[in-house]
Structure 1
Amino acid sequence: MFVLTVDQIDSRHRSDQVGPILARLESAFGDRLATAPERTAGDEFQVATDDGPAALEIALLLVRTGDWSVGLGVGDVRTPRGDSVRAMTGTAFVNAREAVTAAKKRPARFALVADAGAPDLDPLIRLLLALRERRTPEGWELSDLLDVSPELTLTDAAARLGISVQAASQRALTAGSRLDREAREVLGSMLTIEGERIGA
């Protein structure tokens, strides 16, 4: 299982963001989660899923907002499983706790911890995050459009955005849009393989 333990950054000086983000995650990923995401402490919440690509997407979304320290734990969950995140235990939860503690000390505010013997995907995901940190608002605009409508060509995207094809091509190159998409696909597949190994 994949567990995200997520802690709001500087919550003492900012309004509580847990309620809105829980609603957003449940709306966007509800059918891919083991159970509803849940607040576990004042400014902290957890998400549990058996879907590796979903865990990655959630982590990337949360880091992008700049509001959260995100720990992703990969491991097992004791059976029978509880009917809520709070009722579940296992190494996935222990690893997620260790990961969020490490994330708080990192510029990217992300860390992944997995059971012994698992491939170390943490540096690869942080490399992807480093690529994203350099992306401009214009690069995000194009990348988001291509993610939502992957069938679009750069010519189509340029027309949608009201820019030249050359400008769209330069945005895509600078933003690393294609590399980002390919990296997410590979990392999602690797997480899926690891989840299947743990569940075997």
Structure 2
Amino acid sequence: MWTMTVDQEGSRRVGDRVEHVLDSLAHDSPLTVAGPRDVVLPFERTVGDEVQAVIADADLVVALALFLIRMGGWTVGIGTGTVDRPLPASSRAGSGTAFIHAREAVEAAKSRQRAVPLAVRGPDPALAAEAEGVLAIIGSVVARRSAAGWAAIDLMSGPEQRRQADIAGLLGISQQAVSARLRAAMWAEEVAARPAAARLLRLAAGLSDDGRSNDDEGATG
């Protein structure tokens, strides 16, 4: 499992946006297509302008981290380690090293030296750093993407599985222009890199490449 601790940036300047991000996570994020066992404890406000969740799928962790980076204004900490059993009803009451590492990660992500406000911490610092590095590279692409690029990607990546010719018609541009937007947005590169980030998160959590764990025995990643 992975604990995600997400803290708002500049809340004194822009006001509390926790309810907004919780609504976006519930209705517009990768959580809307998550499997029934992918979310162990859902996102909720923990303290102040911070939200937290426990996720059981590394690919979903990657997708959620990039979703939050795209939103902007949020610092993302991802922690791996153990989650104490029995699980509480709320992540606010959770304990274990995954929660501790998520706290360390979100604090590290606040460094002004980071281009992307994201960090990963876990029991194996080297593997956590590798996962963070790949996620940060993908995140930097996401953070710099133009509105035109997102318009094409949102249509391309939707559940309808549209072709570029269909997207061109919807956007009122040529198919060549759609291809140019997707290239400039580095969409293919992001799709290719996401599995590597998820694999490194699994390894950092002490799991095998296929994601199998001993969660049912109480020791989790």
What TM-score comes out, normalization by structure 1 length?
Answer: 0.90
2 CA distance for matches of 1:17 and 1:111?
A: 21
- The residue type paired with residue 14 of structure 2 is R
SS of 2:152's equivalent in the other structure is: helix
Which whole-Å CA distance do the structure 2 matches of 1:118 and 1:153 have between them?
A: 40
Alignment of 1:174-185 (within 5 A): 174-185=184-195
Which position in structure 1 is the counterpart of 2:51?
A: 45
Gaps of 5+ in 1: none
Give the drift of 1:195: 4.9
Query: May I ask how many residue pairs the two structures share in their alignment?
Result: 200
Tell me which amino acid in the other structure corresponds to 1:144: D
Instruction: Specify which structure has the higher proportion of helix.
Output: 1
The Cα of 1:11 is off from its aligned counterpart by 0.6
Structure 1: 4+ residue segments shifted above 6 A: none
Distance change >3 Å, CA 185–CA 161, structure 1 → 2: farther
Query: What TM-score, normalized to structure 2?
Result: 0.82
**1:12-37 alpha-carbon deviations (Å, 9 max, x no partner):** 11121111212332345274311231
- Tell me what 1:24 maps to: 24
AA partner of residue 108 (structure 1): V
Match of 1:122 among 108, 132, 149: 132
* 2:207 alignment partner in structure 1: 197
Structure 2 gaps of 5+ residues are 215-221
What percent identity do the matched residue pairs reach? 34
Q: Tell me the distance in 2 between the aligned counterparts of 1:50 and 1:100.
A: 19
CA distance in 2, matches of 1:188, 1:160: 32
2:160 and 2:189 map into 1 onto residues whose CA distance is 14
Q: Distance in 2 between matches of 1:62 and 1:134?
A: 13
Aligned to 1:72, the other structure's residue is in SS state strand
Distance 1:26 1:52 in 2: 18
Match of 2:164 among 148, 154, 158: 154
Q: How far did 1:190 drift?
A: 4.2
* Superposition map of 1:65-80 within 5 A: 65-80=71-86
Match of 2:120 in 1: 112
Distance (whole Å) between structure 1 residues aligned to residue 105 and residue 206 of structure 2 = 21
Q: C-alpha root-mean-square deviation of aligned residues, in Å?
A: 2.1
Paired AA for residue 151 in structure 2: E
Q: Give yes or no for contact 2:134–2:196 (8 Å, CA) kept in 1.
A: no
User: 1:86 Cα shift?
Assistant: 1.4
